[in-house]
Structure 1
C-alpha cells in the first residue's frame, strides 16, 4: 500500500482532494497532510510518503521550493503539483526539477485518478534497492559520542528551517533509518522531538522578552507562523499569546 501526503495552505482544498481520490480503488492511504511547505519538510521524515500532492502557491515555502528539497532527500518520491490555470506555464517548469505530474484547479476526479494510475504503475515497476549491509555494519560501531555531536549540532543550528532527520543524516554520513533508531535509543527522544524541544525552549525565551510571534517563529527556524503556533501549543499546552500574558500579567 502506497502512502499519500497532501500539502495545501487551504484546508478546504485538502479535504476536497481527500474526497476526490478513490482510496479503496488504488489501495492508497493518506499518511498525513500539511498546510505549508515548511510544515511538510518537518514531518516528511516521519510520514515517508510515496506520493505527494502539493499546491504550487503557498506562503513561506512554495510548492516548487518544497519539491526541490523533497526530491533531493527522497529521489524516488512522486510529486504532483496542484496549480491554477493562470499558473499553468509556471507549473510546467516543475517537471525540470523532477516533479512527475501537475493538475490544474478546479480538480476533476477523472484527471486525478488517471494521474494516480500512471504514478502507481511507475511505483509498481520500480526495482527495490537492496540496503547496503556494509553501511549498516559501519554504523553499528558508532559510539554515543556521535549522537552527542549531532545533539550539539542541533542546539547550534535549530534556526535552520531545512534542518530535519535527513539533513542531519547526510551531514554526518549516516543512513537515515539507522540515525532515526539510534538517536532515539541514545537520547530517549525522536530526532524531530529533540529539534522541536530546542526550538521551543528558545521560543519561550523570546516570549519572555515579549517578541512578536512571527519574529520568534523565524528566529527558531519555523518561518510559517501557523505551523509554529501548532508546535508551540503542542509543546507548552498554551498559545504563544497566553504564555506572554502569564509571564507579564
Structure 2
C-alpha cells in the first residue's frame, strides 16, 4: 500500500484530510500525522511516505523550509501544498520546490482526491483509477458477506484474507473488525467453527476413516485435526464416535 503523511499544525485540517481522502479506494493506508516541519522530517525518515501534504504556515519549521529539506532528502515523494492563502507567492515557491499541487483551505473533497490521484499517477502511471473506484463501490459489510460465503463453500482451503484485502482495497484488520461486528465471531474462528461442525457430520458415518475426514477438512495432519477437535468439543474424534 502507498503511504501518506500530513504535515500541518491545525487539527481540523488533519481530520478533514483524513476523512475526505478516499484512502481505501486508492489502495492507501490512512495518513500519518506531524504538526510542524521538524516533526514532518522525522516522520518521513521513519515512515517513508509516498505522498506528503504540507501546510505553508507552521511553527518551528514552516512549509517552505520543510519542502527545501524534504525534497533534497526524499526526492521521490510527491508533495501537495495546503494553504489558507490564495497567494501567488506561496504557489510559485511551492512549485519551484517540487510540489505537484497546491490546494486551499478549507479542504474540498473533490479537490483533495483529484490531487491524490495526480500524485498516485506520478507514482504509478499504469494505475487504473476507474477499476479501483468501481471495486470500492462495494461496502466492507458486503465484502464480509463474500468472505463468509467463501468460507462456507471452501472451508477445507486455507483462507488468504490478503486476497480479499487486495481485491477490494480494505485493510485485513478492517475486514476482520467488520466481519466480527456483523457475525459476532472472528474470521478464523468462523473457519474453525464450520470445520468442526462439518467434522461432526462426517464422523457419524463410521465407514469414513478419521484420516480421510482430516484431509477432507483441510488438515494435512490427522493428529492436528484430533487435537483441534478435542480443544473445540472436549473429546477426541474417536470418543465422539463411541458416544
Give the TM-score of the pair, scaled to structure 1: 0.48
Give the TM-score of the pair, scaled to structure 2: 0.49
Q: Which has the larger radius of gyration?
A: 2
